[in-house]
A = this chain, B = another copy of it.
Amino acid sequence: MIKKILKFGGTSVGTIDRIQHVANIIKKEQSTGCKIIAIVSAMSGKTNELVKLSREISHDFNKRELDVLLSSGEQVTCALLTGALIELNMKAKSWLNWQIPILTDGDHTNARIINMHIEKIEKYLDQNGIVVIPGFQGISKVGDVTTIGRGGSDATAVAVAKIFNADSCEIYTDVDGVYSTDPNKIPVAKKIDKISYDEMLELSSLGAKVMQPSAVQTAMMYEIPLEVRSTFTDRKGTKIFNQENIDYTKSVTGVAYSKDDAKITVIGVEDKPGIAANIFEPLSKAQINVDMVIQNISSDEKTTDITFTVKRDDVSKTKQILKSDCKINFKEIIQNNKVAKISIVGAGMVSTPGVTYRMFRALSDESINILAISTSEIKLSVIIDEDNTLKAIKKLHSIFDLD
């Protein structure tokens, strides 16, 4: 008998009507002869509302208690959905974090699921019962409530799929699936039918926020087939699995962008070995993620300029570390927050020569200046002026046959 994990995000369970609709989806799925475990998020807006309450008390609200507070959101949805299933004459039962239990490791507000007790639930599934589990939470070894970070219901779904050895894990959300680029910005964006875990990871970490990246990573590690699909239509979504299972006809699968980055240039640094290490070691120790790095040729022979990108939120901290903690001399620091990162992603890129060249030529044809470049096996990213974002995405989407 096929065992399916169905995860429903906040907008999918945002109202009573929608919860009833979700109950009908589950009923239909079970009628095809599947065993169903449903994972639910808090009703949309609920988690923010609870966070807001905690902030009124303290901006540094105790994290143990924050977890107790926030976990109530999924508990509510869990009970409502189970009630709605029972109202449809289904056999259904909610199982809270401590009732399973879902065991976690790590810090409050940022835990990681390590195990679950499956016997009772397996037995209930064997009796044709539908199991409803709150996403985003678990309990620690000392028996405290722990949450697993924003978007954590995806992580719960994948962990449940892994531990229960499920045949598939379907992520129901408010979009149809993963698109070749942002459909709100580029109307010709196309839904992707099949995509590899790696591509999905590159796309989601670059702003196509359909699924939480660490959940995709876990699915990849344990080869759990995923499907992202809409709660509000019957259409098929995007299937996510191993690269080997995908027949690539196109070199590029999608174009992603993000506006989270800032460019920093350290001017007039002494040009000698060890300088880069002197700059990047203190930044790394301060948990600042440096993305792209370029060492420029300087006008005078004894010094050079070093350019790199960091998240915009980290800019002031970065500048402070450069001035105080890095053992380097430099003339000045220039920063530019008005940049965008544009990436083409595709597992077919490695086997298709000329993708890099075609991207650069296309941007040059549109008079878009490239400020920095980084590459990986399945991704090619450039930093450009923020104002050129839309023009760049349109052009790349078109020349790589994605329209």
Taking Cβ atoms with an 8 Å cutoff, the residues of A that contact B are: 16, 19-20, 50, 53-54, 56-58, 61-62, 64-66, 68-69, 71-72, 75-76, 78-80, 82-84, 86-87, 93-94, 96, 98-99, 143, 145
CB distance from A46 to the nearest CB of B (A): 10
A57 touches B20 (CB 8 A): yes
Residue of B nearest to A59 (CB): B87
Set B53, B80, B98, B145: member contacting A80, Cβ < 8 A: B53
Q: Is the CB of B76 within 8 A of A50?
A: yes
Given contacts A19-B57, A20-B57, are A68 and B62 in contact (CB under 8 A)? no
Chain B residue nearest to A134 (CB atoms) is: B68
| A93 contacts across to B, CB distance below 8 A | 64
* A56 x B16 contact (CB < 8 A): yes
Q: Is the CB of A69 within 8 A of B62?
A: no
Partner of A68, one of B68, B69, B79: B79
Question: B79 to A66, Cβ gap below 8 A?
Answer: yes
CB pair B62–A86 under 8 Å, yes or no, is yes
Minimum distance in angstroms from A298 CB to a CB of chain B: 52
Q: How far is the CB of A299 from chain B (nearest CB, A)?
A: 55
Cβ-defined partner of A61 (8 Å) among B53, B56, B75, B83: B83
- Rounded to whole angstroms, the CA-CA distance of A371 and B64 in the bound complex is 60
Residues of B within 8 A of A68 (CB): 75, 78-79, 82, 94, 96
- 17 contacting pairs across A/B (C-beta < 8 A): A19-B57, A50-B76, A53-B76, A53-B80, A54-B80, A58-B83, A58-B86, A65-B86, A66-B83, A68-B75, A68-B78, A68-B79, A68-B82, A72-B72, A72-B75, A98-B99, A99-B143
CA of A255 to CA of B147, assembled, Å: 52
Which secondary structure characterizes the binding site on chain A?
Answer: helix
Whether A83 lies near B56 (C-beta < 8 A) is no
CB distance from A80 to the nearest CB of B (A): 6
In the assembly, what is the distance between CA of A87 and CA of B86, in Å? 42
Alpha-carbon distance between A82 and B87 when the two chains are bound, in angstroms: 37
Q: Is the CB of A69 within 8 A of B83?
A: yes
Distance in Å: Cβ of A101 to nearest Cβ of chain B: 9
A55 (CB) vs chain B CBs: closest residue: B16
Contact B69 A80, beta carbon cutoff 8 Å: yes
Q: Across the interface, which residues of B come within 8 angstroms of A66, CB to CB?
A: 79, 83
A57 lies within 8 A of B87 (CB): yes
A84 touches B57 (CB 8 A): yes
Q: Tell me the smallest distance from the CB of A287 to a CB of chain B, in Å.
A: 25
A-B contacts besides A54-B83, A72-B76, A96-B98, 12 pairs, CB < 8 Å: A16-B53, A16-B57, A20-B57, A54-B79, A58-B86, A61-B87, A64-B93, A65-B82, A69-B75, A69-B80, A75-B75, A98-B99
A389 vs B250: C-alpha distance when bound (angstroms): 85
Bound CA span A194–B87, Å: 50
Q: Which residue of B lies closest to A50 (CB)?
A: B76
Question: Nearest 8 A-B pairs (CB), nearest first?
Answer: A69-B79, A68-B79, A72-B72, A16-B56, A65-B83, A65-B79, A62-B86, A58-B87
Residues on B with C-beta less than 8 A from A78 are: 68
Interface centre among A57, A80, A84, A93, by most chain B C-beta atoms within 10 angstroms, is A57
Closest Cβ–Cβ distance, residue A195 to chain B (whole Å)? 36
Given the complex of chains A and B, what is the CA–CA distance between A353 and B82 in angstroms? 61
- The residues of B that contact A19 with a CB separation of less than 8 Å are 57
A20 proximity list for chain B (CB < 8 A): 57
